[in-house]
């Protein structure tokens, strides 16, 4: 088998059928196994907060040390009334989540994210 | 009867108006405790808790009740200040070893830090009426944790003032913070040196009233 990182890419359709808790559990289970998760449509801010709290509970010094999570920082671009009316919220943007010791962000721009993923040690 | 109820409502509003509880949030080491101490010290002469260059010095939320903020134009506002632990998605105890802690101390600090983050989130969910979001102006404001926290604050419709802190440092770029969050008021300060605090007090009095 080739060396590398497993990617789990979830479609918006698949995500829309899952509860918040199911999404969070799936993400953390994947991340614990050294997998990088890509969500076609990201978590809501509230769900991100819950993911963060669940992550904190699972951090074990010397073991799991947390997650890297990124999405396009969409707000700021669509400020006007038009943007406000038609904006679906930040959760409509793609999101990538991975183990912090395997996924590193190299650069963040409004419309471009560059990340480096490495295989589990 | 209706008139009586209306009068009662008026008096309730007048006398039992709850003080706003303002949470100081932001990533680790942004200068939250330094700022909380400065505000509380300016007003009451006391401090809220120790600040430190080592991340996660604050691992429990600390509250100071009844802090009176006055703006330059004479507006006065009584608030409760809550200094919170820094919010992050990752905590690695090895980081603390670099500051000369031994293994046990570093592991204990990491454990407490994870609880601290959860506690900060809990306060935000239940007990906070407004947020002072502190950012280190030398760092990338687009770090996901900031995008997430501002998103949560917006979803809860909490009033927020963003602080572009550490402007005394040569590589500070408060402009980057302003362009990252154009929808919110941003005040540039140095919490350490006390620069531009009057502008911050005015903004606090305006936004959290
Ligand atoms: N240069 C500079 N350093 C600051 C400023 N505010 C805080 N610091 C330093 O940043 C470090 C973290 O401060 P602290 O208040 O503990 O941050 P907290 O983790 O957000 O509570 C400490 O070494 C402070 O002295 C500032 O305005 N300018
Ligand atoms: Mg602190």
DSSP result, B146-171: HHHHHHHHHHTT--EEEEEE-TTSTT
Q: Could B114 and A52 be called an inter-chain contact, meaning their C-beta atoms sit closer than 8 Å?
A: no
If one residue of B39, B47, B51 were mutated to test the ligand 1 pocket, choosing by the most ligand atoms within 8 A of its CB, it would be: B51
The two structure tokens encoding residue B36: 């909380």
pLDDT at B12: 52
The two structure tokens encoding residue B47: 């401090």
Per-residue confidence in pLDDT tens, chain B, 209 aa: 556 556 655 555 555 567 899 999 999 999 999 999 999 998 888 889 999 999 999 999 999 999 999 887 878 899 999 999 999 999 999 999 999 999 999 999 999 999 999 999 999 998 999 999 999 999 999 999 999 999 999 999 999 999 999 999 999 999 999 999 999 999 999 999 999 999 999 999 999 98
Q: Which region, left, alpha or beta, applies to residue B196 given φ > 0 means left and ψ of -120 to 50 means alpha? A: left
Q: Where in chain A are the domains? A: 7-117
- What CATH class has B17-207? alpha beta
CA distance A100 to A69: 9
CA distance A76 to A84: 11
CA distance A115 to chain B (A): 13
Strand segments (E) across chain B: 20-25, 62-70, 76-83, 130-136, 160-165, 186-188
ipTM comes to 0.84
CA distance A35 to chain B (A): 16
Listed by number, the residues of chain B in 23-62 with a beta carbon closer than 8 Å to a beta carbon of chain A are: none
Sign for the CA dihedral angle at B136, B139, B145, B146 comes to positive
- CB-ligand 1 contact for B203 (6 Å cutoff): no
Residues of B with CB below 8 A from A90's CB?
147, 151
Whether the pLDDT of residue A79 is over 60: the answer is no
A91 φ, ψ to 5°? Answer: -70, -5
pLDDT at A111: 85
Span A103-118, average pLDDT: 89
Per-residue model confidence as pLDDT tens digits over A20-65: 999 999 999 999 999 999 999 999 999 999 999 999 999 998 899 9
Whether the pLDDT of residue A97 is over 90: the answer is yes
Is the model's pTM score more than 0.95? no
CB contact set of B28 (below 8 Å; sequence gap of 6+): B55, B56, B85, B86, B87, B88
């Amino acid at each position: 088998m080739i060396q590398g990182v497993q990617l789990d890419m979830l479609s918006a359709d698949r995500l829309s059928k899952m509860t918040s808790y199911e999404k969070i559990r799936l993400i953390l289970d994947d991340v614990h196994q050294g997998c990088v998760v890509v969500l076609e449509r990201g978590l809501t801010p509230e769900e991100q907060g819950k993911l963060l709290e669940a992550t904190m509970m699972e951090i074990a010094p010397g073991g799991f040390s947390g997650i890297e999570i990124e999405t396009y920082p969409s707000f700021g671009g669509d400020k006007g009334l038009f943007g406000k009316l038609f904006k679906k919220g930040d959760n409509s943007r793609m999101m990538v989540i991975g183990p912090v010791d395997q996924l590193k962000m190299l650069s963040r721009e409004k419309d471009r994210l560059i990340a480096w993923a490495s295989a589990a040690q | 009867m209706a008139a009586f109820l209306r009068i009662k409502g008026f008096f309730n509003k007048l006398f039992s108006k709850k003080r706003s509880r303002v949470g100081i949030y932001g990533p680790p080491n942004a200068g939250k405790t330094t700022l909380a101490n400065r505000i509380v010290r300016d007003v009451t002469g006391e401090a809220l808790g120790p600040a430190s260059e080592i991340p996660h010095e604050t691992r429990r939320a600390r509250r100071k009740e009844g802090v009176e903020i006055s703006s330059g134009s004479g507006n006065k506002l009584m608030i409760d200040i809550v200094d919170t632990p820094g919010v992050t998605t990752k905590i690695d105890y090895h980081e603390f070893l670099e500051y000369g802690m031994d293994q046990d101390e570093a592991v204990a600090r990491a454990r407490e830090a994870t609880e601290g983050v959860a506690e900060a989130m809990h306060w935000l969910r239940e007990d906070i009426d407004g947020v002072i979001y502190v950012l280190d102006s030398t760092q990338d404001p687009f770090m996901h944790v900031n995008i997430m926290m501002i998103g949560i604050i917006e979803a809860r419709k909490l009033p927020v003032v963003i602080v572009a802190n550490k402007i005394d440092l040569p590589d500070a770029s408060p402009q980057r913070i302003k362009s990252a969050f154009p929808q919110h008021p941003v005040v540039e300060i140095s919490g350490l040196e006390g620069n531009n605090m009057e502008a911050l007090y005015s903004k606090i009095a305006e936004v959290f009233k």
